[in-house]
Amino acid sequence: MLSVLRNRIYRHLFTAQVIALVGTGLATVALGLLAYDVAGADAGSVLGTALAIKMVAYVAIAPAIGAVADRLPRRALMVGADLTRGAVALVLPFVDQVWQVYVLIFLLQAASAAFTPTFQAVIPDVLPEERDYTQALSLSRLAYDLESLFSPALAAALLSVITYNWLFLGTTAGFLASAALVVSAILPKPLATTTPRAGSVYAKATAGTRLFFATPQLRALLALNLAVAAASAMVTVNSVVYVRDQLGRSAADVSLALGAYGGGSVIVALILPRVLDRASDRAVMLPGALLLTLVFAALGAVTAAGSGGWQWPALLFIWAAFGAACSMVLTPTGRLIRRSVPPEERTSAFAAQFSLSHSCWLLTYPLAGWLGAEAGLQSAVVALGAIALTAGLLAVRLWPTKNRLVVEHEHPDLRDGHPHLVDAVRGPNGWRHSHDCLADALHTG
């Protein structure tokens, strides 16, 4: 898997991603402590609102960036986002009002909503070979999972010798280093748009979303996003409730439970590149979504049993299974998008995926918290498990099998030498070829 790091451009971009992730992790810890200083006993409410603001920024800003991304140099866009995030992190230690926290968090997450989809759309151009790109997706999944384990440990070590305000300085340094690495990478030029996207700003902002709804396998991805959001919300929101309240264990065991979730995801991310050499995205992602339902059923059994000696290792196993199943869905997502949209539409498509997936979390996070607090953990398990089951079955229904996914068709109106016709054969009525189902200006029939 590490062989892909021999590509200098990707190596710089991946290192930038890792450093920025660590900086974000430090900021997450510091933000909790800042919220307590500013709001005292209401810190939980402040953080909950900040999380909602984060999701709103992701949902609203990513499509807007997709609308203008084709007019902006991608490297400049990513560097500008990093510099904005660094500036916000530098200002955060000086706030003394809750509303200031909210404004700065919105700016920080809006910049992330600009950086991440652009970064994701660049990688397929940097690594055009599918095997290399698959390895890059697994490395990216590993980076996210390991960051969730490493950043809190690093923050704890640093807090033993410095105050939390200095963590924001570390965050700023991380974003500046990320910007420098992006500047040092000479990015390949994106494929010129052969059919300029016309229409209003709204039409351009929603172009990626319309691609999703028009393409069968991407419609299935929308359902898969919801299934993953149901599972990840259960883990993120209710881990502390299970560990501290249901099982009566120590605060340190909360980190161990979250580590089990990350560990399951890491193991699958390491295995998947070889699996995807022989299996299709569909054959991996759909079983992963359906596996979530079985894991929810196991969680329901543990929840009903209450506390006991065997429930703790069972919970760790269940959390690891959640991580593994989510990784089965999330890791190949980039491959699926890459195959499903033309190169000139990738930024819009990745922006739509970023926005739509976070829309699912915007639904499941508060649902997991509210049901767990008001109706009990068992109700939360049943509701979120039902969402995961419905979403998984819907994905199976929406995603055509391979023989239905590859479409043979003709282009009677395209000129000779058009980039889309690179593998086409001249027929009596036009150029004929076959490829995965696409939804764009060239395939509207």
The model's pLDDT over 216-274, given as tens digits with 9 standing for 90+, comes to 899 999 999 999 999 998 988 888 888 888 888 887 787 788 888 888 998 998 899 88
Q: What is the mean pLDDT of residues 266-285?
A: 91
Whether this model's pTM surpasses 0.85: no
pLDDT at position 325:
96
Lowest mean pLDDT among 256-260, 360-364, 390-394, 439-443: 439-443
In this predicted structure, the answer to whether residue 419 has a pLDDT above a threshold of 70 is no
In this predicted structure, the answer to whether residue 49 has a pLDDT above a threshold of 70 is yes
Residue 201 neighbours by CB distance under 10 Å: 10
- Pick from 116, 117, 105: which is nearest to 47 by CA? 105
Decide if domain 207-399 falls under CATH 1.20.1250.20.
yes
Q: What is the mean pLDDT of residues 292-312?
A: 89
pLDDT at position 426:
66
Would 1-127+149-185+201-205 and 207-399 be classified into the same CATH topology?
yes
Residues 282 and 269: their CA atoms lie apart, in Å, by 16
pLDDT at position 67:
66
- Give residue limits of the domains in the chain: 1-127+149-185+201-205, 207-399, 403-436
Contact status, residue 112 vs residue 239, Cβ threshold 8 Å = no
Residues 213 and 398: their CA atoms lie apart, in Å, by 11
3-state secondary structure of 191: coil
In this predicted structure, the answer to whether residue 350 has a pLDDT above a threshold of 70 is yes
Q: What is the mean pLDDT of residues 27-39?
A: 77
pLDDT at position 445:
44
pLDDT at position 208:
72
In this predicted structure, the answer to whether residue 180 has a pLDDT above a threshold of 80 is yes
Task: Tell me the pLDDT tens digit for each residue of 393-408.
Answer: 999 999 987 644 455 5
In this predicted structure, the answer to whether residue 203 has a pLDDT above a threshold of 60 is no
Task: Tell me the pLDDT tens digit for each residue of 335-345.
Answer: 998 888 887 77
295 token code pair: 């894991």
pLDDT at position 192:
47
Residues 395 and 220: their CA atoms lie apart, in Å, by 4
pLDDT at position 142:
82
Task: Tell me the pLDDT tens digit for each residue of 89-128.
Answer: 999 889 888 888 889 989 988 898 888 888 888 888 888 8
DSSP string, 48-83: HHHHHHHHHHHHHHHHHHHHHGGGS-HHHHHHHHHH
The dihedrals phi and psi of 215, each to the nearest 5 degrees, come to -110, 125
Contact status, residue 344 vs residue 192, Cβ threshold 8 Å = yes
Contact status, residue 286 vs residue 268, Cβ threshold 8 Å = no
Amino acid at 238: N
370 token code pair: 């509210």
In this predicted structure, the answer to whether residue 27 has a pLDDT above a threshold of 80 is yes
Longest CA span, the chain: 76
Contact status, residue 299 vs residue 180, Cβ threshold 8 Å = no
Q: What's the CATH number for 1-127+149-185+201-205? A: 1.20.1250.20
Half-sphere exposure of 318 toward its Cβ, with a 13 Å CA cutoff?
25
Q: What is the mean pLDDT of residues 149-162?
A: 75
The runs of H, that is alpha helices, within 127-279 are: 130-159, 165-184, 201-205, 207-214, 216-240, 252-278
- Of the two residues 385 and 420, the one the predictor is more confident about is 385
Task: Tell me the pLDDT tens digit for each residue of 189-198.
Answer: 765 444 445 5
- Of the two residues 47 and 378, the one the predictor is more confident about is 378
DSSP string, 335-347: HHHHHHS-GGGHH
Q: Mention every residue, 6+ apart, whose C-beta is less than 8 A from residue 261.
A: 235, 239, 319, 320, 322, 323
